[in-house]
């Protein structure tokens, strides 16, 4: 049974955190300051540390620095607790070696998810190791490739047949309690539209989205749909994609889309060497949570369309626009990243305000798959 050390000077918060963790089946030891907590870590070698930032005797940052300097416990994952107003603390914590942070006040479910993500880290790293990362994720999915191709053909045939539904056909939405949404859009699309003819622009767009379609299908996308000049993709766990969870497959697809953009840039260099075109690049957002696939039927023509709906979808679209402005090529919500903890490398992390939403979304830049053991 995993052991967690909790460091929190506020008795009520300390009791709440310990209670939530114990209800989830974890053993918990607690301390009211960083110095006492550090001794608990050294003596008991826990699987995880959850620590407040502001504590007497030794604060969370000093505790974290001492923990990382001790060879016997330096690899212990640490989650920091901080208030929403202390954004500077978040940045300091992540650059000081924290593995995650949770802002106060937090929901019990958020605490459980963050703890589970860190405790599952070794298991996820083992999965990545057995795949040998770059070649391995592809290798694991290569076994599915031919099966998935047949599956997509079957889906296409099914979708075509749905255009002539039976008289008693029922419209049923699909609901997923947890899925990963990917949205990719071309940066500087207006610049290409201004300098290229419609025919040339179509060739460029086709170059990218043909590659994009192949990429997301290879990694087992449940649904792919164009939204404006962007592409919305839904990944879910299913019997057809049991080797890798939907979050990791979506992350790998996002990285593949970034590579596809580089190939399009090479195409532009060859096809339009004298044109002063902007650099071809894409911006990708990833987010996980509940998703519904609503079936929309046209009673006159019999057409059936599937529309992804829900807060997870809308937040992904908004995150892509915000992340693009900040210069992140691939932005991922922390809710998505916690499902692949240990399997990916991340860069900067920030609370990003999104238009129309009452609270910011916690997100980080996805840099690549984890290479370390």
Q: Sign of the C-alpha dihedral, residues 157, 160, 164, 169?
A: positive
pLDDT higher than threshold 50 for residue 163? no
Confidence at residue 86, expressed as pLDDT on a 0 to 100 scale: 57
The pLDDT tens digits for 52-91 are: 988 999 999 899 999 999 999 998 999 999 875 555 555 5
Tell me the three-class secondary structure of 222-288, residue by residue. Answer: CEEEEECCEEEEEECCCHHHCCCCHHHHHHHHHHHHHHHHHHHHHHHHHHCCCCCCCCCEEEEEEEE
Q: Is 127-369 in CATH node 1.10.10.10?
A: no
| Nearest by Cα to 196 from 276, 117, 316, 91 | 276
pLDDT higher than threshold 60 for residue 292? yes
- What CA–CA distance (Å, rounded) separates 125 from 115? 16
Map out the domains of the chain as residue ranges. 3-119, 127-369
Confidence at residue 29, expressed as pLDDT on a 0 to 100 scale: 97
Strand, coil or helix: 335: helix
- What CA–CA distance (Å, rounded) separates 363 from 180? 14
| Nearest by Cα to 366 from 60, 336, 358, 214 | 336
Q: Are 310 and 72 in contact (CB under 8 A)?
A: no
Confidence at residue 123, expressed as pLDDT on a 0 to 100 scale: 66
Quick one: average pLDDT of 221-242? 83
Instruction: Measure CA 315 to chain center.
Output: 12
In the CATH scheme, what is the code of domain 3-119?
3.40.50.2300
pLDDT higher than threshold 70 for residue 151? no
- What CA–CA distance (Å, rounded) separates 353 from 319? 9
| Least confident segment among 2-11, 102-111, 284-293, 328-337 | 102-111
pLDDT higher than threshold 50 for residue 170? no
């Amino acid at each position: 049974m995993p052991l967690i050390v909790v460091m929190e000077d506020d008795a009520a918060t300390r009791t709440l955190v310990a209670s939530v963790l114990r209800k989830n089946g974890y053993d918990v030891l607690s301390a009211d300051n960083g110095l006492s907590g550090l001794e608990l870590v050294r003596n008991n070698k826990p699987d995880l540390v959850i620590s407040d930032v502001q504590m007497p005797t030794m604060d969370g940052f000093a505790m974290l620095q001492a923990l990382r300097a001790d060879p016997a416990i330096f690899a212990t994952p640490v989650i920091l607790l901080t208030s929403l107003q202390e954004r500077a603390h978040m940045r300091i914590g992540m650059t000081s070696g924290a593995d995650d942070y949770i802002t106060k006040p937090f929901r019990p479910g958020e605490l459980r998810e963050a703890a589970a993500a860190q405790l599952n880290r070794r298991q996820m790293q083992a999965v990545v190791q057995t795949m040998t990362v770059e070649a391995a994720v592809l290798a694991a999915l290569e076994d599915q490739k031919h099966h998935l191709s047949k599956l997509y053909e079957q889906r296409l045939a099914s979708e075509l047949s749905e255009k002539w539904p039976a008289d008693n056909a029922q419209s049923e939405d699909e609901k997923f309690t947890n899925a990963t949404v990917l949205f990719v859009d071309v940066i500087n699309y207006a610049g290409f539209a201004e300098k290229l003819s419609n025919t040339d622009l179509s060739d460029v767009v086709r170059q990218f989205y043909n590659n994009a379609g192949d990429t997301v299908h290879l990694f087992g996308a449940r649904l792919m749909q164009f939204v404006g000049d962007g592409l919305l993709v839904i990944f879910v766990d299913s019997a057809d994609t049991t080797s890798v969870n939907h979050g990791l497959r979506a992350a790998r697809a996002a990285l593949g889309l970034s590579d596809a953009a580089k190939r399009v840039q090479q195409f532009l260099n060859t096809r339009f060497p004298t044109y002063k075109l902007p650099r071809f690049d894409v911006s990708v957002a990833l987010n996980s949570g509940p998703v519904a696939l609503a079936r929309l039927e046209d009673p006159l023509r019999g057409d059936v369309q599937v529309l992804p709906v829900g807060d997870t979808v809308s937040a992904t679209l908004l995150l892509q626009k915000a992340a693009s402005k900040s210069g992140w090529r691939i932005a991922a919500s922390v809710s998505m990243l916690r499902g692949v903890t240990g399997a990916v490398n991340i860069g900067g992390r920030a609370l990003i305000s999104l238009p129309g939403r009452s609270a910011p979304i916690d997100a980080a830049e996805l840099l690549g798959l984890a290479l370390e053991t």
